[in-house]
Amino acid sequence: MVPHLVTALTGPINELEQRILESTPVIERWFRLEWMEHTPPFYTSVDIRNAGFKLAPVDTNLFPGGWNNLTPEMVPLAVQAAMAAIEKICPEAKNLLLIPENHTRNLFYLMNVAQLQRIFYSAGLNVRLGSLNPEIQAPTTIDLPNGEQVTLEPLIRAGRRLGLKHFDPCTILLNNDLSAGVPGILEDLHEQYLLPPLHAGWHVRRKSNHFRAYEEVAKRFGKLLGMDPWLINPMFARCGQVNFAEGTGFECLQGNVDALLAKIRRKYKEYGIQERPFVVVKADNGTYGMGVMMVRDAAELANLNRRTKNKMNVIKDGQQVSDVIIQEGVMTHERIHDTVAEPVVYMMDRYVVGGFYRVHAERGADENLNAPGASFVPLAFEKSALQPQPGTRPGASVPNRFYMYGVVARLAMLAAAYELEATDPEAELYA
C-alpha cells in the first residue's frame, strides 16, 4: 500500500494508473521516439497535483532548486543522468562552472547548490561556484546547517569566455532563473556550453507558452492511450496588460475567469464530480510561488483588498506583473500525516531521478503549497519511480503510483522541450 496517502486506494485515478501500467511498453517507446526528435531540458522539476479524478502538472521549473531534498538513495540515479547529459553535450568536459541564485543568506537554497556540486563531482567533473552577486568580491565560504560548506567565487570574464581565477570551464550550468533579465557577463560567450540556454530564463519564458505546448503533448498522449487528455491537462487562459496596483485590465481577467470556470463546470458535470471548481491566477513569468491567488467566482476580482493587490503586483527581484495566466485549479487530496501534500518530480536529461512531497500544514487542498512554511518529505519516493510492478492492482503499489507521476512529469518536460524550441532566438538562422 502507498504509505501515508489517503487517495492511494480510491478514485478514478486508479483507472488512469491501470491504463498507464498496461501501456508501459507503448509509452516508453513513444518517449524514446520523441527524444530522438527533441532535446530534453538539461534538468527539470515538475509540481503535480492529484485530485483523485485528475492528475496534472501545475508548474514546470527549468532551473530547479531543492536537490537537497532528494534522498541519498536517489543521488546515484542523478549522477548517472548527469553523466549521460554531459556526455551528450561535451564528452571531454573536465571543469563545470555552476552559477547559483544570489541568495547568500538562504542556507537551504545553498544546501541545494552543495547537492548539485556533489552530483556533478561524482559524474567526473571539477565543480566550482561562480556568483553573480556583486557582494562576492573574493572567495567566500559559507557554513551550512548540515555541517557542509560551499565556497562562492567572483566571476571573471576574459574576452568571450567566463570562468573563475585559475579555472576555465567548458560547461556553465545555471541554477539561476534570470527573473531580472540576463546580466551582460553571460552574453556572447564563445565556445562554452551554457545550460540551460539563456532563453529558458523567466525574462523570456511564459507559463502560457508552456501550457500551450503541454496541451498539444497531452492531446497526443491521450490519443495514444485512448483517454480524455483533460484527465492530465489543466485548462488555461491568458491576460496581458493587467495592473493590480492601479486596478486596470480586470475586464479581461474577469471575462477569462468566468469562461474558464464554465468550461470546468461542464467537465465536472460530465464526470459526476461534486467539488466546487476554482481557477488559479498567477504571474505568467512567475517563480517561487509568488504572485498567485485562487478565484472561485469572477465577482471576487472586483473586491480585491490592498494586501492581495500588492501580493499580485510584484514577484521575485521586484518584477512588476502585467501578464497573468488563469489556470484550472487542480486540488490535491493527498495527505501525509493529515497535512496537504503534492508530489514534485525531479528529472535530469530525459530521466526521472527522484522527487519528494511538498507539504504545508497551514494550507488547504485548493491552495498554493509553494509558500513560506512548506516542508519536504521524500518518504514516498523511497522506492524507484522508474520500475512499475506489473500485475499489482492500482493504488496498492508505491512504484506503480510513482511511475505514473514520472510519466506525467516527463510529458511536462517534453512540453518544455517544445517550448524552448519555439522560443529559441537562434532557430530562425536555420529555418
Q: Do 407 and 27 touch, CB atoms closer than 8 A? A: yes
d(CA 253, CA 298): 8
What's the pLDDT band for 381 if we cut at 50, 70, 90? low
Mean pLDDT of 36-53: 94
Quote the pLDDT of residue 9: 44
Mean pLDDT of 404-427: 94
- Judged on CB neighbours under 10 Å (0-12, 13-18, 19+), 275 is middle
d(CA 303, CA 382): 45
Backbone dihedral angles phi then psi of residue 50, each to the nearest 5 degrees: -110, 105
What's the pLDDT band for 413 if we cut at 50, 70, 90? very high
Cα–Cα nearest to 23, from 219, 215, 213, 222? 222
Looking up cell 497526443 gives 220
Contacts of 376 (CB under 8 A, 6+ apart): 66, 69, 356, 357, 358, 359
- How are the residues of the chain apportioned to helix, strand and coil, as percentages rounded to the nearest 5? 35, 25, 40
The dihedral built from the CA positions of residue 411, 218, 64 and 338, taken in this order, carries a sign that is negative
Cα–Cα nearest to 281, from 318, 317, 255, 246? 255
Record the cell numbers describing residue 189, joined without a space.
Answer: 560567450
Of the chain, the percentage scoring pLDDT greater than 90 comes to 58
Quote the pLDDT of residue 333: 78
The domains located in the chain, with CATH, are 1-62+205-234+330-423 (no CATH), 70-203 (3.40.50.11280), 240-326 (no CATH)
Q: Do 104 and 152 touch, CB atoms closer than 8 A? A: yes
d(CA 332, CA 354): 20
Quote the pLDDT of residue 352: 94
pLDDT higher than threshold 70 for residue 6: no
User: Mapping DSSP to helix (H, G, I), strand (E, B) and coil, where does residue 421 land?
Assistant: helix
Which residues in 237-248 are b (16+ Cβ under 10 Å) and which e? bbbeebebeeee
What's the pLDDT band for 288 if we cut at 50, 70, 90? low
pLDDT higher than threshold 80 for residue 388: no
d(CA 76, CA 152): 25
Mean pLDDT of 343-349: 94
Q: For the segment 139-194, what is each residue's pLDDT rounded down to a tens digit? A: 999 999 999 999 999 999 999 999 999 999 999 999 999 988 899 999 999 789 99
What's the pLDDT band for 383 if we cut at 50, 70, 90? low
Q: For the segment 199-252, what is each residue's pLDDT rounded down to a tens digit? A: 999 989 999 999 999 999 999 999 999 999 999 999 999 988 877 777 777 888
Quote the pLDDT of residue 386: 61
How far is residue 314 from each of residues 210, 275, 339, 390, measured CA to CA in Å?
21, 31, 29, 48
What's the pLDDT band for 287 if we cut at 50, 70, 90? low
Quote the pLDDT of residue 235: 97
- Judged on CB neighbours under 10 Å (0-12, 13-18, 19+), 323 is middle
What's the pLDDT band for 359 if we cut at 50, 70, 90? confident
Of the chain, the percentage scoring pLDDT greater than 70 comes to 91
Backbone dihedral angles phi then psi of residue 196, each to the nearest 5 degrees: -60, 170
What's the pLDDT band for 293 if we cut at 50, 70, 90? confident
Q: For the segment 69-87, what is each residue's pLDDT rounded down to a tens digit? A: 998 888 999 999 999 999 9
Quote the pLDDT of residue 8: 46
Quote the pLDDT of residue 379: 53
Quote the pLDDT of residue 7: 47
Residues in the chain: 431
Reported pTM: 0.92
Which residues in 351-376 are b (16+ Cβ under 10 Å) and which e? bbbbbbbbbbeebebbbbbbeeebeb
Top mean-pLDDT range of 13-17, 240-244, 372-376: 13-17
Cα–Cα nearest to 175, from 77, 39, 73, 67? 67
Record the cell numbers describing residue 349, joined without a space.
Answer: 536529461
DSSP H helices in 67-200: 75-89, 107-122
Record the cell numbers describing residue 345, joined without a space.
Answer: 518530480
Higher per-residue pLDDT: 339 or 85: 85
What's the pLDDT band for 400 if we cut at 50, 70, 90? confident
Quote the pLDDT of residue 382: 55
Q: β-strands 161-163, 279-283: how paired?
A: unpaired
d(CA 19, CA 38): 26
Backbone dihedral angles phi then psi of residue 96, each to the nearest 5 degrees: -120, 125
d(CA 36, CA 171): 23
